[in-house]
Structures are given as structure tokens and as C-alpha cells.
Chain A
Amino acid sequence: MRFADFTPFDLVLLAQGLGVSLALFLTTTVAGLLLGLGFAVVHHFRFPFVNPLIVAVTEALKNSPVLVQLFLVFFGIPALMQIRMTPASAAFITLSLNTAAFAFVIIRAGIESIDRDQIDAAEAFGLRRIQILRRVIGPQALAFSIGPIVGILVNQLQVTSLISVIGVFDLTKIGNILNLRTLEPFIVWAVIGSIYYVCAKILAHSGARLERRIRRSYAWGEV
């Protein structure tokens, strides 16, 4: 037996890598969705000067490679501002902002999809703008945007593999290590790929169920 062969401990390594990937995915999803929602609400209330800024930042994030954004945050910001940055925090900042940019665009479209008449009617009933946003626009915008949001989340799960490039020990990095040690690229990358595949499928599946449930609870007027 060579020292380079697969060992049972590799399973622990894989589980660790998967844990890092999933933890980063979950935290950046929560942070990104909240931030994106915040952007969309701010955008809805049309504060002066803020809207063009939000649009410019989100467009820049959507139109540039995530890898370059990672490099900018991980190498660029510490060099510019003379601060320390760990790979994990750079990954967290970049992926959260990225998710926020995509979420912002979807939620904004959801808010804008609501008929002007409904808002006029709500205003006629004397609801305040914040109430209209919560009671009238919010639920419908949620039902509208949940599908596309699940779509981008499946995508973001795959984007997390890029953080291995700046040295976070996620699933892909573990794959790299195993690949270099065992020199069995077919087995290693097929296993890593199928783990990602299964995660993406579970995510898409549960997303579809959530979407159905939300749409059902908001469906009205159909007999």
C-alpha cells in the first residue's frame, strides 16, 4: 500500500469541506437576501441620490466575474486600507454582496410587478406607505420572486467553489488536496462533483416545494 492511497480519514476531510461550503453558503444566503431586500425597500422609497448608487453597485457586481471580486476583496482591500483580511471573511463579504445584487434585482422586479391600481386602492383606504409595503406589496412580491431566488441560490451554491482559490478549505479545496495526493482525478472530481450535484438537487427540490406552498397560501379567487 502506498501512502498516497485513499484512507477512511478522507471521508472526514470531505465532510469537513462540505461543512465549510454549506456554512458559508447558508450565512451568505441569509446576509445576501437581507441586504438585497434592504436595497429593494430603499429603492422603493426613492431616497434621493441613493437609487443610482444602488443600481450602479449591483450592476457592477452582476457584470464582473466573482473570482475578480474575490481577489479585489481578499488582496486589494487589505493592501489599500492596510487592514487584515482572512480568506473566510473575504469570501463572506464577496458572496454576500453578490447574492444581494441578484436578490435586489429579483425583489425589485417583484415589487414593480404589482399593479398600480392596487396601491391606489390601498392609499384610498388610508393605509400608510409602510403598511402598503408590508400588507399589499410584500406578500405578492414574495410569491413572485421566490422561484427566481431559488434559481440564483442554486447558482450561488456552485459559486462557493471559487472560494477555494483564495485558500478557504471548502469542498473543492479538499478535492484539490486529495487529487494532488492520490493522483486519481477521475475518482476525486467525480465524487466532489456528485456531492455538489446532490446538494444542488436538494436545494432546488426544497425550493420548489416552498414555492408551491407560498403560492398556494396566497392563491385566492380561484374555486
Chain B
Amino acid sequence: MRVWRVIEPYIGFLLQGFALTIFACLLAIIGAVILGGIVASMRASQRSALRWVAHAYSDIFRNVPFLVQLFFLFYGLPELGIYIGAFETGVIALSLAGGAFVSDVILSGIRSIDRGVIEAARVSGLNDVKVFLRIVLPIALRVSVRPVGSVLINLVLTSSILSTITVNELTGVAKIVAAETFKPFEVYAVLLVLYASFTTALSLAIVAWHRRLNRFMTGA
């Protein structure tokens, strides 16, 4: 196997990068889901100021390339006197970008809820906050697991861009290996397989989670 001969001496190094990618993605996924949930509830709120701010955030972060957002934070934050590492900046940027997309999905989950359910909860004497936290959000999250999943898969693919700000995650490590071995094709082909396996595993996990959350649902 020609590919294996090229990769073999660097396999530990590549796996280190892979571990960093997984770590960054897990942090960013947590950040994006929390941020997305908060922003989605802001966008569904009765106050127009909250709604406007949340909408502007998700609109901007969805329509500006991630690379530009990343450079803005990476070069801009030190100007503000905030000195954090490239890895932290990358995770923050990923969470911000992911949160914008996640909020969109959760918002449409919230909007898909039958008015009757909310009215029934109100009539039962729950106040607005409780209706939102106990009734609306659980249903919305249950509906949005699958679309959120595809956003998160996109997030994993986007994490490769962190290599441009000197984070040595999988793509960054692969760049080094490709430069040392002069075998870029083999290295990047292996990289494609690694990313594809990570995203496939993630999508399987999401399908399983979706099934588990909806195990009491009948029909759709």
C-alpha cells in the first residue's frame, strides 16, 4: 500500500490533529447549541428590541464568510486588549457562526408548534416563562434534532478553516505532513476519509438521538 507507507511514520501526529479537531468541534457544538437556543428564544420573544438584535446577529453571521469572521476575531480581538490563543479564538468563532444557523433551525421548530398546545398550557395556569421552558422548547428541540444535526456536520467541516489561523488541528497537521513528505495527494486523500468518517459517525449519532427523543411519538 503506497498510501500507508507515506502516512505510517506520521500516524501519531495526524491522530493528534484529529483529536484536536474533535475537541474543538465538541466545544463549538456545545457553544453553538446553547447560543442558538438562546438566540432562537430571543427571536421568538414578544419584545421587538430583543427580536431585532437576535435577528441581526443571525443574519450577519449567516451571510458573511466564516473565513472573514475568523480573521475579524483573530486580528481584531488583540486590538481590544483581549489576548487569547488561536485555538480559543477558533472555538469562539465556530460557536458564533454555528449559533446563527442553529438559532434559525430552532426558531422554525418553535414556529411549527401548534397554537392549541400553547393555549392549553396557558389555560392550565402556567405562566409565559414556564410555557416556554417546559412546553415550547422541549417540543421545538425534539423537532429540530435532525436539521440541527446537519448544521453541526457543517460545523465540523468548517473547523478545517481554523488551520488558516495557525491552529494545528487535522487540516493544519496534514499541511505540515504534506510539506515534509512531498506526497500531498496521499495525505489529503487520507484527510478526506478521516473527515468523512467523523461526519458519518456524527450523523449516525444524530439519527439515534432523534429516534430516542421521539420514541413516544406516533406517526410523523
Contact = CB atoms under 8 A, between A and B. Distances in A.
Contacts of B186: 76
Interface stretch (B45-53, B67-75, B123-131): B67-75
Q: What interface size band does chain B fall in?
A: 35 or more
B217 to A, nearest CB: 24
A117 B69 CA distance: 49
Contacts of A63: 153, 157, 195-196, 199-200
Which of B75, B171, B186, B187: most chain A CB closer than 10 A?
A: B75
Contact of B189 (A76, A154, A158, A201): A76
B216 interface: no
B219 interface: no
B65 A196 contact: yes
Interface string A193-218: 11011001100100000000000000
B72 A189 contact: yes
Given A77-B185, A185-B76, A189-B76, A65 B71 contact: no
A105 B65 CA distance: 23
A197 B195 contact: no
Contacts of A185: 71-72, 75-76, 79
A141 to B, nearest CB: 22
A15 interface: no
A41 interface: no
A65 B187 CA distance: 14
Interface string B159-175: 11101100000010011
Interface stretch (B27-35, B106-114, B176-184): B176-184
A172 interface: yes
Given A71-B184, A154-B63, A175 B157 contact: no
Contact of B192 (A60, A80, A189, A196): A60
A76 B188 contact: yes
B220 interface: no
B158 interface: yes
Contacts of B207: none
Given A161-B65, A197-B60, A72 B79 contact: no
Contacts of A201: 63
A3 B111 CA distance: 54
A96 interface: no
Contact of B163 (A67, A75, A158, A186): A67
B191 interface: yes
Contacts of A72: 184-185, 188-189, 191-192
Which of A63, A159, A165: most chain B CB closer than 10 A?
A: A63
Dominant SS at the B interface?
A: helix
A172 B67 contact: yes
Contacts of A69: 192
Contacts of A114: none
B102 to A, nearest CB: 16
A138 to B, nearest CB: 28
A115 B69 CA distance: 44
A22 interface: no
B18 interface: no
B1 interface: no
B71 A64 contact: no
A179 interface: yes
A79 interface: yes
B64 interface: yes
A51 interface: no
Contacts of A161: 65-68
Contact of A67 (B68, B160, B187): B160
- Of all A-B residue pairs in the complex, the 8 with the closest CB atoms, nearest first, are A76-B185, A185-B75, A65-B160, A161-B65, A75-B184, A189-B72, A158-B65, A72-B188
Given A68-B171, A185-B76, A193-B65, 17 more contacts: A64-B157, A65-B161, A65-B171, A65-B195, A71-B175, A71-B184, A72-B189, A75-B188, A76-B188, A160-B65, A161-B68, A164-B67, A189-B72, A189-B75, A192-B68, A194-B64, A196-B65
